[in-house]
Amino acid sequence: MKLTIVGSIILGLVSVPIARIKKPRFFWGSAGLDPISFLWMISFFLFGPKGAFLSSIIGAIGIAKLSTEKTPRLGALLKFIGTMCVWGSMTIMLFGFSLPYTGKTLNNLNIFIPFAFLSAIVRCLVEIPLCVLAIPYFLTVSRGEKITTSQMIEEFGGLKGYLWKMVLLNFWLTFLDTAIPWVLTYPTGIYSYSATW
C-alpha cells in the first residue's frame, strides 16, 4: 500500500511541470498532444485505479495552478475527466470480465487493445456532450466576446463536423494515453516492480 501511495504521488508530482510546456492546440482549445496524462496512465498500469486517481488529482491541480492556457481550471477538469474515462473504463472492464485484478493482466495485447478501444468510446460519450458547454466558454474567455453554442458548432462546420472532429480527437488522445504509457510500462519491464493491485 505504501508503494502505491508513494509511487502515485511521485508520478503525479513529476507530471505537474508538464503543465507549463506549450502544447499544439486546436482553435477550440484542446491540445493535440499532452504528455501530462501519460504519467497518470503509467500510475494506473503500475498501481491500479487508486494510484491513477491520486496521480490524476495531483496532476490536475498542477494544470489548474501552472498552465499558461486561457482557462486552466477548465483544462484541468477536462483532462482529468478524459483520462479518468480511460483508466476507469479499463478497471470496470477488468471486473466485468472477471479478469485477474493485477497490472500484469494488461500486458496481454489481446486484452489491452480491445479495452483501450472501448475506453475511447466511453471517453467520446462523456467528453463530446461536455465540450458543448466547455468550448463556448473557452472561446468566450480567449476572444473576449460572447460565443454561443450555435456559433461554436458553426465554426466546426456544423453538427456533423463537430461530432467527427471530437470523435477523432478523443480516439487520438486515448491512443496516446494508452499506447505510449503501455510501451513505457511493459516492454521496459518496470511493471514487475509495481505494487499488486
Cα(100)–Cα(4) distance, rounded to whole angstroms?
Answer: 18
Helix (H, G, I), strand (E, B) or coil at 196: coil
- 129 vs 27, residue with greater confidence: 129
pLDDT digits (tens, 9 = 90+) for 45-104: 999 999 999 999 999 999 898 888 889 999 999 999 999 999 999 999 999 988 876 778
Return the percentage of the chain with pLDDT > 90, whole number.
72
Q: Is the pTM of this model over 0.75?
A: yes
State the pLDDT at residue 196. Answer: 66
Cα-Cα-Cα-Cα dihedral sign, residues 47, 38, 176, 118:
positive
State the pLDDT at residue 108. Answer: 92
Closest C-alpha among 108, 93, 109, 107 to residue 49: 93
User: Looking at domain 2-193, which CATH architecture does it have?
Assistant: Orthogonal Bundle (1.10)
Return the percentage of the chain with pLDDT > 70, whole number.
97
The phi and psi torsions of 173 (rounded to 5 degrees) equal -65, -35
pLDDT(4) > 90: no
183 HSE (CA, 13 A, CB side): 6
CB 31 within 8 A of CB 177: no
Grid coordinates in use for 17? 511541470
Which residues are CB-neighbours of 91 under 8 A, at least 6 positions away? Answer: 48, 49
State the pLDDT at residue 132. Answer: 95
